[in-house]
Chains A and B, each alone.
Chain A
Amino acid sequence: MADTDVLVVGASAAGLGVVESLRRGGYAGRITVLGAEVHVPYDRPPLSKQVLSGQWEPEQAHLRPQDLLDALDAEFILGEPATALDVGTRTVSTATRTLTADQIVIATGSTARPLPGQPELTGLHTFRTLDDALALRADLLAARRLVVVGEGVLGCEIAATATGLGLEVTMTGPQQLPMGLQLGTFVGGLLGRLHQEAGVRLRLGEGVSGFTEVGGKVSGVSLVGGDTLPADVVVVAVGARPATDWLADSGLELSDGVVCDEFCRAAPGIYAVGDVARWSHAGLGRSLRLENRTNAVEQSAAVAEAILGAPVRYAPVPYFWTDQLGAKIQVHGSISAEAQATVVDGDVEDRRFVVRYQVGDDVTAVLGWNMPKQSRLRRQEITTSALTEGATVA
Chain B
Amino acid sequence: MKVEIHEDKCVGAGQCAALAPGVFDQRDDDGVVIVLDENPRQDLHDNTRRAAAACPALAIVLHD
Task: Establish whether residues B14 and A373, one from each chain, have CB atoms under 8 Å apart when the complex forms.
Answer: yes
Kindly report which residue of chain B lies nearest to residue A292, judged by CB atoms: B56
B26 interface residue, CB < 8 Å from A?
yes
Q: Is A301 in contact with B31, judged by CB distance below 8 angstroms?
A: no
Q: Are B56 and A372 within 8 A (Cβ)? A: no
The reply to whether A321 and B49 contact each other, CB–CB distance below 8 Å, is no
Chain B residues closer than 8 Å to A319, beta-carbon distance: 13
315-355 of chain A: CB within 8 A of chain B: 319, 321, 323, 328, 330
Q: Is the CB of A328 within 8 A of B54?
A: no
- Contacting residues of chain B (33-64) with chain A, CB-CB under 8 angstroms: 49-50, 53-54, 56, 58
Residue of A nearest to B55 (CB): A297
Q: Please name all residues of chain A whose beta carbon is closer than 8 Å to the beta carbon of B11 when the two chains form the complex.
A: 45, 321, 323, 328
Other-chain contact of A20, B17, B18, B53 (Cβ < 8 Å) = B53
Question: Bound complex: CA of A171 vs CA of B28, how far in Å?
Answer: 33
Q: How many A-B contacts at CB < 8 Å in the complex?
A: 60
Determine if B2 is an interface residue (Cβ-Cβ < 8 Å): no
Interface membership of A313, Cβ < 8 A: no
A61 and chain B: residue at smallest CB distance: B58
Whether A376 touches B14, Cβ cut-off 8 Å, given contacts A301-B50, A328-B31, A371-B31, is yes
**When the two chains form their complex, are residues A370 and B30 in contact, meaning their CB atoms are under 8 A apart?**
yes
Q: Does A132 contact B (CB under 8 A)?
A: no
A323 neighbours in B (Cβ, 8 Å)? 11
Residues of B within 8 A of A389 (CB): none
* Complex contacts, B31 vs chain A, CB 8 Å: 328, 371-373, 376
Q: Which of B1-15 contact A (CB under 8 A)?
A: 11-15
Given contacts A330-B13, A372-B13, contact A45 B56 (CB under 8 A): yes
CA distance A249 to B39 in the complex (A): 52
B53 with A372: CB separation less than 8 A: no
Chain A stretch 277-328: residues in CB contact (< 8 A) with chain B: 293-294, 297-298, 301, 319, 321, 323, 328
Q: Within 8 Å of chain B (Cβ to Cβ): is A102? A: no
Complex interface: chain A residues within 8 A of B53 (CB): 17, 20-21, 24, 297, 301
Residues of B within 8 A of A321 (CB): 11-13
Q: Determine whether the beta carbon of A373 is less than 8 Å from that of B58.
A: no
Cβ-closest chain B residue relative to A60: B9
Residues of chain B within 8 A of A298, CB atoms compared = 54
Query: What is the distance, in angstroms, from A161's C-beta to the closest C-beta of chain B?
Result: 15
- Knowing A24-B53, A372-B12, A372-B14, the reply to whether A63 touches B28 (Cβ < 8 A) is no
| A139 contacts partner chain B, Cβ-Cβ < 8 Å | no
Instruction: Tell me whether A43 is interfacial, beta carbon within 8 Å.
Output: yes
Interface set of B (CB-CB < 8 Å, partner A): 11-15, 17-18, 25-28, 30-31, 49-50, 53-54, 56, 58
A-B contacts, 10 of them at CB < 8 A, read: A21-B53, A45-B56, A294-B13, A297-B15, A328-B31, A373-B12, A373-B14, A373-B25, A373-B31, A376-B14
11 further interface pairs, Cβ-Cβ under 8 Å (given A293-B56, A330-B12, A373-B25): A43-B56, A45-B11, A297-B15, A298-B54, A301-B50, A328-B12, A372-B13, A374-B28, A376-B17, A376-B18, A379-B18
